[in-house]
Amino acid sequence: MPDWLEKAVFYEIYPQSYIDSNGDGIGDLPGILKKLEYFQYLGINAVWLNPCFMSPFKDAGYDVSDFYQVAPRYGTNADLQTLFVEARRLGIRILLDLVPGHTSTECAWFKESCQAERNIYTDWYIWTNSIWTWNAPGVQTVIGYSERDGNYITNFFHFQPALNYGFAKPDPNQPWQQPVDAPGPQAVRRELKNIMKFWLDLGASGFRVDMAGSLVKNDPGCQETARLWHELRTWLDTEYPEAALVSEWSDPTVAIPAGFHMDFLLPFASPAYQALFAMKKIEAASQDVSGSCFFDPVRPGDIQRFLDSYLPLYQATRGKGFIVIPSGNHDTTPRLGNGRTPRDLALVFLFLLTIPGVPFIHYGDEIGMRSPDGLKSKEGGYGRTGARTPMQWDGSPNAGFSSAPRDQLYLPVEDSPTRPNVAAQRPIEDSLLNQVRQLIALRLAHPALCASGTFDPLYAEEGKLPFVYLRQQGEEKILVAINPSAQPCEIALDLEPSREQPECLYGEAAAFRQAGTQWRVHLPGVSGSVYRL
Ligand code: NOJ
Ligand code: CA
């Protein structure tokens, strides 16, 4: 386990939307390089960079056509290397986005694989044995794409043919389904390792792995896919022990034993995530008590719903790897900022930055950016497009993202006079940005709050507030109390009496006090407090 993960705070950067250095309307790597100062100011020490490789960009770069080359719109391999080096000098590590499951149809390997004549790429993708074989169970095929007499299997969109890692249980009646140890799947594995090696040697600190569980087909329980990752992790542990892997899997009980250091709970797939932050408009969620989420100021949902899903995952992975509850990502709308005030959001960050595992902040969430509704889909974004709009740096018309004419921006900036921006929030002491900074600093200053500090709910009663939990590491014990409701709350807490008044590290000093033999927690509406016991 790379030691640095203990104190890692990640920031997700969607390169096309972050900062444009040359006025072409698209964010780029030299732009990101100029923002290292901002990363330091914010206090993040790790970045997940969404795909920046050669691509026809039909899925915003998740359709890679050359895994060894930075897309010209972002810069060059040398620019990426410079970014690695300069960031690292400041203690900031960069993870690239690795897309192992598929390529673009524009990838040279796929074009070769499409040929009717056998060649070395013939078995790099999964093809049925004839174009008349198209209804293979559990997989999706594209029919009649080339003169090769077969259909290829897609991994996601139709232009993302699945690389061939074989089938865990090949169907004997479908001889085109190759076992994992067949030459094609083995060659693809070797190539995957080459890609990883290439970027690690250039200075990457690891990878966020796209659809990590998707590799081996017909793989009940993902056993063969897990074996593959385990093999890669074993290699990393010896060759690149500092490199980190975070999976897009949303099942830490499988991903972590498979070899990932961290696994995301995906907003759209994880009941634990949804119990915290509904994936619909807050206003709409509030009308439905049963479905409402905990961080809903109007009618907070039950924290027990979160704990019922989260605790089994936490207990199963403790000491082995980390669960990631991201603030959002480029696939999820609405953003947390939609329908929440800066005060609501500061409380969300208090939670996200004091729970175990590794925090990931989607760019712009630190200032409360909102995802606009009704945007025209861009590069396969569809309903996800709103989470990908330009970073809002200042109050100028293009929000400081780019000097290009407005109609040439990668995506329009949020069209609202109240849109938040960095420049406006920097000088204000209690702005959301400054509270997020303060919370990051708080986390990093206290081992109990870092990735592996233990987590014990102390007060989590059905239909009652606040939610109180204890984090502990070594001698240090930290108590966090959270009240997402607009109404104040007060409870008695069953804790050992103490001779000293606990030190308030964040929030209201008066929120936690001893009254006779009892401890009492009193929190104003939408507030949280942190104490060292
Ligand atoms: C997950 C990525 O986050 C998403 O943006 C992409 O469209 C799919 N995987 C396919 O690669
Ligand atoms: Ca640019």
* Tens of pLDDT, residues 403-416: 999 999 999 999 99
- CB 62 near ligand 1, within 6 Å: yes
Q: What is the spatial distance between Cα 519 and Cα 417, in angstroms, rounded to a whole number?
A: 45
The CA distance from 252 to 268, in Å, is 15
Report CA(157)–ligand 1 centroid distance (Å): 9
What is the CA(19)–ligand 2 centre distance, in A? 8
Section 57-61 average pLDDT: 98
Residue 496 pLDDT greater than 90, yes or no? no
C-alpha angle 169-173-177 in degrees, rounded to nearest 5: 50
What pLDDT is recorded for position 291? 55
CA of 292 to the centre of ligand 2 (A): 41
User: Does 14 contact ligand 1 (Cβ within 6 A)?
Assistant: no
Judge whether 521 and 530 are in contact, CB under 8 Å: no
Share of the chain above pLDDT 70, in %: 98
Nearest ligand, CA 403:
2
Q: Which atom of ligand 1 is nearest to the CA of 99?
A: 11
Q: Does residue 222 have a pLDDT over 70?
A: yes
The pLDDT value recorded for residue 365 is 98
Cα 460 to Cα 26, 217, 468, 508: the distances in Å are 46, 41, 7, 20
Q: Whose CA is nearest to atom 6 of ligand 1?
A: 62
The closest alpha carbon to 418, from 358, 355, 372, 486, belongs to: 372
Q: Is the CB of 159 under 6 A from ligand 1?
A: no
CA dihedral (491, 351, 526, 426) positive or negative: positive
- pLDDT score of 285 more than 50: no
What are the DSSP calls for 27-57, one per residue? --HHHHHHTHHHHHHHT--EEEEPP-EE---
Q: Which ligand is nearest to the CA of 14?
A: 1
Of all protein residues, the one whose alpha carbon is nearest to atom 2 of ligand 1 is: 210
Going from the Cα of 60 to the center of ligand 1, the distance in angstroms, rounded, reads 9
Mean pLDDT of 253-261: 98
What is the distance in A from the centroid of ligand 2 to the CA of 510? 50
Q: In ligand 1, which atom is closest to the CA atom of 156? A: 10
Which amino acid does the sequence have at 154? Answer: T
- Cα angle at 443 between 440 and 446, to 5 degrees? 150
Question: Does residue 13 register a pLDDT over 80?
Answer: yes
Q: Among 107, 210, 388, which is best to mutate for testing ligand 1, by the most ligand atoms less than 8 A from CB?
A: 210
Please work out whether the CB of residue 461 comes within 6 Å of at least one atom of ligand 1.
no
Contacts of 474 (CB under 8 A, 6+ apart): 447, 448
Among residues 255, 449, 209, which one has the least CA distance to residue 352?
449
Sign of CA dihedral 82, 3, 312, 249: positive
Cβ contact 63:50 at 8 Å: no
In degrees, rounded to 5, the angle at the alpha carbon of residue 242 between the alpha carbons of residues 359 and 264 is: 30
- Please count the other Cβ atoms lying within 10 Å of the Cβ belonging to residue 130: 11
Whether the predicted pLDDT of 474 surpasses 60: yes
* 342 C-beta neighbours (distance < 10 Å), count: 18
Query: Ligand 1 within 6 A of 254 CB?
Result: no
Is the beta carbon of 24 within 6 A of some atom in ligand 1? no
Distance from residue 400's CA to the centre of ligand 2 (Å) = 13
Q: How far apart are the first and last CA of the chain?
A: 29
Atom of ligand 1 nearest to the CA of 380: 7
> From the CB of 210, is ligand 1 less than 6 Å away?
yes
The residue contributing the CA closest to ligand 1 atom 11 is: 62
CB of residue 393 inside a 6 A radius of ligand 1? no
pLDDT of residue 517: 82
Does ligand 1 have an atom closer than 6 angstroms to the CB of 387? no
Rounded Cα–Cα distance for residues 45 and 87 (Å): 9
Ligand of minimum distance to the alpha carbon of 16: 2
pLDDT band at 289 (very low <50, low <70, confident <90, very high): very low
Q: Is residue 112 in contact with ligand 1, taking CB distance under 6 Å? A: no
Q: Is the CB of 366 under 6 A from ligand 1?
A: no
Residue 281 has pLDDT above 80, yes or no: no
Q: What letters, b where the CB count within 10 A reaches 16 and e where it falls short, cover 481-492?
A: bbbbbeeebebe
Which H/E stretch holds residue 472? Answer: strand 467-473
379 Cβ inside 6 Å of ligand 1 = no
Candidate of 17, 64, 160, 331 to mutate for ligand 1, largest count of ligand atoms within 8 Å of Cβ: 331
CA of 530 to the centre of ligand 1 (A): 36
Is residue 331 in contact with ligand 1, taking CB distance under 6 Å? yes
The Cα-based distances of 439 to 16, 38, 377, 403, 453 in angstroms read 28, 16, 35, 33, 16
pLDDT tens digits, one per residue of 121-163: 999 999 999 999 988 888 999 999 999 999 999 999 999 999 9
Compute the distance between CA of residue 165 and CA of residue 126 in angstroms, rounded to an integer: 8
- Answer whether 308's CB lies under 8 Å from 270's CB: no
Q: pLDDT digits over 378-404, tens only?
A: 999 999 999 999 999 999 999 999 999
pLDDT at 290 (0 to 100): 43
Give, using CA atoms, the residue closest to atom 1 of ligand 1. 210
Instruction: For residue 304, report the distance from its CA to the centre of ligand 2, in Å.
Output: 46
Give 504-513 pLDDT, tens digit per residue: 999 988 889 9
Task: Give the atom of ligand 1 at the shortest distance from the alpha carbon of 329.
Answer: 3
Report the DSSP beta bridge partners of residue 176. none
The chain-wide mean pLDDT, for the chain, equals: 96
CB 163 within 8 A of CB 125: yes
Four-residue CA torsion sign, 457, 461, 463, 467: negative
- Average pLDDT of 81-86? 98
